[in-house]
Amino acid sequence: MEKKDYYASLVQLVMQSETITWNRFNNFLVSSSILIVAWAAVYFGKDFTSKTIVLIALSLMGFLAGILSALLGHRGRQYLNLYFSQAHYCEEKDDEPLYIKPFFIANDQIRRRPESKIRKLVYYISSSHFLIVTGSLAYSAIFYILYYQSWQLL
Length of the chain: 154
Residue 116 pLDDT class (50, 70, 90 cuts): confident
SS3 at position 125: helix
Helices 51-93 and 128-151 sit at what angle, rounded to 10 degrees? 170
C-alpha closest to that of 10 among 93, 96, 109, 80: 80
120 versus 35: which is more confidently predicted?
35
Mean pLDDT for the stretch of residues 47-71: 96
Asked if residue 19 lies in contact with residue 85, where contact means CB atoms within 8 angstroms, the answer is no
pLDDT at residue 98 in the model: 43
Is pLDDT above 70 for 130?
A: yes
**95 to 29, 90, 91: CA distances (angstroms):** 44, 10, 8
Is pLDDT above 90 for 135?
A: yes
Give the span between the Cα atoms of 84 and 112, in whole angstroms. 18
Give the span between the Cα atoms of 132 and 76, in whole angstroms. 10
